[in-house]
Amino acid sequence: MQASADHRLSRITDNGDTPCIRNCCLNEQDICLGCYRTLQEILAWHNASATEKETILAHCQHRRQQRLQR
């Protein structure tokens, strides 16, 4: 399952998709436990450039990996 989630995150840039998996639940740091975006990243997503989206996705992947290692 980890590979499919990583694949989904890596293929999303400027094609209109979001990394949202409709499992929205913010933790105490305002990070969604479904897509691993911060609340600020979620709010900024639709106006973000492709480069900004790639940066957000890289942060999401890093957060996801950190959570899986716990």
Does residue 19 contact residue 60 with C-beta atoms inside 8 Å?
yes
Q: What is the pLDDT of residue 70?
A: 80
Question: What is the Cα–Cα distance from 13 to 69, expressed in whole angstroms?
Answer: 26
Domain positions in the chain are 2-68
- pLDDT score of 63 more than 90: yes
List Cβ neighbours of 26 (8 Å cut-off, separation of 6 or more).
32, 33, 39
pLDDT band at 14 (very low <50, low <70, confident <90, very high): very low
Give residue-wise pLDDT tens across range 16-51.
688 999 999 999 999 999 999 999 999 999 999 999
Instruction: Determine the pLDDT at residue 1.
Output: 46
Structure tokens at 69: 């290692």
Q: What global pTM score does this model have?
A: 0.76
